[in-house]
Amino acid sequence: MTVTTAGTSANGNVSAATASAAASAAATAEATGPQSLTMAKALNTAMADAMRADPSVLVFGEDVGMLGGVFRITDGLMAEFGEQRCFDTPLAESGIVGMAVGMAINGMRPVIEMQFDAFAYPAFEQIVSHVAKMHNRTKGKLKMPMVIRVPYAGGIGGVEHHCDSSESYYAHTAGLKVYTPATVADGYRMLREAIGSDDPVMFMEPKKLYWSKDQVDLGALRVEHDAGTSTEGRAAVARPGTDATLIAYGPSVPTALAAAAAAAEEGRSLEVIDVRTLVPFDDETVCASVRKTGRAVVIAEAHGFASVSSEIVARVQERAFHYLAAPILRVTGFDVPFPSPKLEHYYLPSVDRILDAVDDLQWED
């Protein structure tokens, strides 16, 4: 297969030819107006659109080719773009990430899949020592325009090593950006933005939301992307409210929304913030909400100790202390190894546990 079109290499060694306006226009034309879409399809469409628009975008990993990935997120990409641009690798995660580093050095934009959260650990050295540091070490001469997609977190009854919330490891590593979408539309817009970014992005996909559906206007999202709209560092107000703020991200956003809906029935108005990108973090939107409501609960599936949720609490109290009517509370996974399927519902943040935390926000004062 031969693809001839424009290159947008971050490292500047791909010669540009003609732009792929035609392909992009064709993709835009096929879907206009809202349609029912799963997050899986939104992510898949984002990759396909990015591959149509830029021949330097490559997709590879374990089982992503013929099979379309164990979650089918790369379904059809090998058929459309050929096995040069979407292919299976040997079963070795460090190899996948390390090879992607070399490809990024040499003009490509790799989008790679780690099959499951806990299977990404063999690649940790490459991620921490090279993906995160290459730009810094070379004073920007070598950029790392790559996306590492990680299906993560629980809620699907997975066996051991298939349900870890590993986002805090990456968020703690200087030099990585960490995105995690919670809605179908964000699945598309955030993955497109990640692929277009000249920075390395850990793209954490809440696997329990892969099959969640929403009415989404792909045509509008494409126009939005082409216009350069950015969600990086921009949290979303997922539900407005006045009495307290629930701060959530990724898989916890729907749980927080359900809690807010239940609280509304009892006459309590909760605002839900979807953080969207953990790195960079949107201090402004989160703190504005807390200053308005005066109370906050942070919700995350990951262990609470030394985690993204503890970082959020620290940042908010540093910036909004005088607006707080109560200590900021957290509802997180317990500090135990991720439980087996029949025990996971005791571990995961639940609507009841969130409502209990809200009740503890010193309303009587």
User: How many C-beta neighbours within 10 Å does residue 20 have?
Assistant: 19
Record the tokens describing residue 36, joined without a space. Answer: 């029912």
- Which one of the spans 122-130, 248-256, 298-306, 347-355 is the region binding other proteins (CB under 8 A)? 122-130
* Rounded least distance, CB 69 to other proteins, Å: 18
Instruction: Compute the CA torsion angle 39, 61, 67, 153 (nearest 10 deg).
Output: -40
Which of 41, 130, 303, 330 forms a contact with other proteins (CB under 8 A)?
130
Record the tokens describing residue 255, joined without a space. Answer: 């749980």
Q: Site residues for other proteins, window 84-113 (CB under 8 A)?
A: 84-85, 87, 89-90, 92, 94-95, 97-108
Within 8 A by CB and 6+ apart from 182, the residues are 206, 209, 238, 248, 249, 250, 251, 252, 253, 254, 274, 276
- Which one of the spans 4-12, 27-35, 217-225, 258-266 is the region binding other proteins (CB under 8 A)? 4-12
The answer to whether residue 162 is catalytic is: yes
Closer Cβ to other proteins, 54 or 271, answer by number? 54
Which of 15, 33, 265, 322 forms a contact with other proteins (CB under 8 A)?
15
Choose, from 135, 162, 225, 303, the residue flagged as catalytic. 162
- Do 215 and 35 form a contact (C-beta atoms < 8 A)? yes
Distance CA 188, CA 333 (A): 28
Closer Cβ to other proteins, 17 or 223, answer by number? 17
Closer Cβ to other proteins, 84 or 362, answer by number? 84
224 lies in the site for other proteins, by CB under 8 A: no
Cis-peptide, bond into residue 280, ω within 30° of zero: yes
Binding mask 180-199 for other proteins (x = CB under 8 A): -----------------xxx
Within 8 A by CB and 6+ apart from 56, the residues are 7, 8, 9, 14, 107, 108, 109
Distance CA 57, CA 50 (A): 7
**Residues known to be catalytic:** 162
- Interacting residues toward other proteins by CB under 8 A: 1-7, 10-17, 55-56, 58, 83-85, 87, 89-90, 92, 94-95, 97-108, 122, 125-126, 129-130, 133-143, 174-175, 177, 197-199, 232-233, 279-281, 283-284
